[in-house]
Amino acid sequence: MCGFPIIHLDKHLKTLVQNHHRFVALCEEFPKYGSFGEKSFERRVTRIVTPGTLIDEPFLNTIENNYLLSIHFAADASSIGLAWTDVSTGELFSKKSHLHSLRDELARICPREVVLRPAASPSTHEATESMLKEEGVFFTSWQLETDNLLPADVESAAVSLLSTYLSKNLMENAPTLSNPRHEADSKMMHLDAHTIKSLEIKESTYAGGTKGSLVSVIKRTTTDSGTRLLARRLCGLTFIPIMYSLIPLP
């Protein structure tokens, strides 16, 4: 065993979780009194820290959301349900999509961690894992103990999977999630992975980082959450129909 002062917890926690993608169990001591009044202590796990469940402000990026994304497959893999949340803000989104669009959804959402429910087809599950590895996304294959109680709708099942995963890891620190904000392709103009990188919306290809990107040029926000909201809206623009009037020329 080895130890370090408690004041260095943030430093080592960031190294283990963010840099090495390790799950860290935080334990605390609780007083326990015997029948004759003698005092002892018992240790219990109070929280499991993962890349997608970091809620401590020193670990959060000022520009990007720290999204935790869950993916649920339909039985025939014809569609997938997506649900993602930023634990630090409590925002929750959900969407029904398709497997061939998953790469573009990953580029738009940029999750820090993906909770992947094993698909009914092993080949589909292996192909999805291979895609996540190619994109450099950290993921966890997670099976619910009460898997048969999941809703039939893939989008609702993804929300249930995400909620259960948060409760399992954050325990008493689990946030109360709001009603999911449903995203529909008919109301949003989504940019694919190639377009987001080519237009340098969030990161500069030449210089690297955010300097020189579209976000850095038009950013006028004063808070970190405002910057995250700006980057998110630039990658998923709201579609507003425009009515045109045809005027005959003389």
The CATH number that applies at residue 200 is 1.10.1420.10
The pair of structure tokens assigned to 21 is 């993608």
pLDDT tens over the chain, length 250 residues: 577 888 888 888 888 888 888 889 888 888 888 777 778 888 888 888 888 887 665 666 666 778 899 999 988 888 999 999 988 777 899 999 998 889 888 888 889 899 998 877 888 888 899 999 998 889 988 877 665 667 778 999 999 899 889 988 888 877 777 788 887 755 556 666 677 777 777 777 766 677 778 877 888 787 776 777 777 777 765 443 444 444 555 5
Q: Mark whether 130 and 228 lie in a shared domain.
A: no
Instruction: Answer yes or no: do 128 and 141 share one domain.
Output: yes
Amino acid letter for position 102: L
Residues 95 and 84 in one domain: yes
Residues 134 and 37 placed together within one structural domain of the fold: no
> Taking a C-beta distance cutoff of 8 angstroms, is the pair 238, 186 a contact?
no
Same domain, 140 and 191: no
Q: Spell out the residues 6+ positions from residue 136 whose beta carbon is closer than 8 angstroms to its own.
A: none
**93: CATH:** 3.30.420.110
Distance CA 234, CA 106 (A): 15
* Same domain (yes/no): 113, 22: no
- Whether 196 and 170 share a structural domain: no
197 and 213 inside one domain? yes
Q: At CA 178, angle to CA 175 and CA 180, rounded to 5?
A: 125
Regarding whether 95 and 17 lie in a shared domain, the answer is no
For 41, the domain range is 8-49
CB count, 10 Å around CB of 131?
A: 15
Domain count, the chain: 3
Which residue in the block uniquely carries the two structure tokens 């094993």?
118
